[in-house]
Structure 1
Amino acid sequence: MPALLVTCTCPDKPAALTLARDLVELRLAACVQVLPGLHSIYRWEGRVEDAEEVLLLIKTWDDRMQALTEAIGERHPYELPEIIALQAAGGLAPYLQWVQDETRPENTEISE
């Protein structure tokens, strides 16, 4: 199972910080980077929209993706939140191991 980088946009920094903290506390993400200053142009309900947003870069593990998606869906202020997962093709082995370790439910050993 691979490490994933999941992108998700939020309408503002308070919403992004709350969601990021929740995902890490729930052990669904090892780390979430919060990047303000994103400007999005997109089509929604037949109109072209223009909005300032905050981008989350969420580091997780493949087997946590379903739970992560559900948690974002339950907490996100958007009707249709962006949730896009990209598989890590590689990376520093100790960092990837840390991502896997930190996304294990508490008191659960990692199966090799």
Structure 2
Amino acid sequence: MSALVYCPFPDAASAREVGQKLLAEGLIGCINIGAPIHSLFEWAGEHGEGEECPALLKTDASLLERAIARLEDLHPYEAPAILGWPCIAGKATAGWLAGLDGGNGSNVQQ
């Protein structure tokens, strides 16, 4: 089974940097970095707003918890919003993501 992770970043550069590390470590197969969005939020009892860049990361469900934990370590926010879930993928996508090695040195290249 495949999995997706959604996470906003302060800017596209930080999303790209974290995404490249997760790719190099074999924890994700792809990161899609979106155009800036306007976020309204509550943090530490106060309301705020700002611009962020959303990212959608694709991985295999067997790597989901490791990918989330590593993303949390690498993310520039103190307490990043990271949401991950298993999902059903098309055969080609599921096969591609099932080939991720999670840092075991045998990544399938696409």
TM-score, with structure 2 as normaliser: 0.87
CA distance in 1, matches of 2:76, 2:61: 24
Q: Answer whether contact 1:6 1:58 (CA < 8 A) is retained.
A: yes
Q: Answer whether contact 2:60 2:100 (CA < 8 A) is retained.
A: no
Partner in structure 1 of residue 89 of structure 2: 91
Partner in structure 2 of residue 15 of structure 1: 14
Q: Answer whether contact 1:4 1:62 (CA < 8 A) is retained.
A: yes
**95, 98, 101: which one pairs with 1:100?**
98
CA distance in 2, matches of 1:86, 1:65: 8
TM-score, with structure 1 as normaliser: 0.85
Partner in structure 2 of residue 56 of structure 1: 55
CA distance in 1, matches of 2:65, 2:85: 14
Q: Answer whether contact 2:72 2:82 (CA < 8 A) is retained.
A: no
Aligned residues: 106
CA distance in 2, matches of 1:87, 1:65: 8
1:38 corresponds to 2:33 = no
Q: Which stretch shifts more, 79-88 or 51-60? A: 79-88
Q: Tell me which stretches of 4 or more aligned residues in structure 1 moved more than 6 Å.
A: none
Q: Answer whether contact 1:30 1:102 (CA < 8 A) is retained.
A: yes
CA distance in 2, matches of 1:91, 1:69: 19
Consecutive unaligned residues in structure 1, runs of 5 or more: none
Q: Answer whether contact 1:4 1:59 (CA < 8 A) is retained.
A: yes
CA distance in 1, matches of 2:17, 2:47: 28
What is the CA RMSD across the aligned residues, in angstroms? 1.6
